[in-house]
Structure 1
Amino acid sequence: MAVSISAVVLLGIIVFALIRGGTVRLGSALICAAFGFFLASTGAAPLITETIGTVTGWISSL
């Protein structure tokens, strides 16, 4: 759970910075957020969660 909260905060900061910098418009960011929200309710969610857990575990072991 701590990894999920950290990832949400990190990704939120990145999205905020991209919107502020003009790289991503607000509409595009909202569409991406909606896509992530709906993706979380599909069968791909466990695979994505496991992959992120594996990558963060690998990074923390360095």
Structure 2
Amino acid sequence: MLVSMSVVLLLGLLIWFLLRIRYLKWAEFLLCGTFGFLLAKTVAAPVVQTVLDGVSGFLGQLRF
């Protein structure tokens, strides 16, 4: 849950930044948001969550 909230926050900030610099139009924002909302209700949602957990686990193990 903590990882998904972090990803949502980061993606939200990225979308805000892209809207701010006018790289992303409102129609594209609404389309992406609708797609994400509908994707969360499909059978692909656990697969997406597993991939995000794997990527966050990998990034958590990196040492700089």
TM range (shorter): over 0.9
**Cα distance in 2 between the residues matched to 1:12 and 1:4:** 12
Q: Which runs of 4+ in 1 moved over 2 A?
A: none
| Separation (CA, whole Å) in 2 of partners of 1:35 and 1:58 | 27
Counterpart in 1 of 2:8?
A: 8
1:21 maps to: 21
Unaligned runs of 5+ in 1: none
Structure 2, unaligned runs of 5 or more: none
Alignment deviations for residues 1-56 of structure 1 (CA, whole Å, 9 cap, x no partner): 11011111100000000011111001110110000000001111100000000000
Q: Which residue of 1 aligns with 2:44?
A: 44
**RMSD between aligned residues:** 0.5
Under a length normalisation based on structure 1, what TM-score does the superposition of the two structures give?
0.96
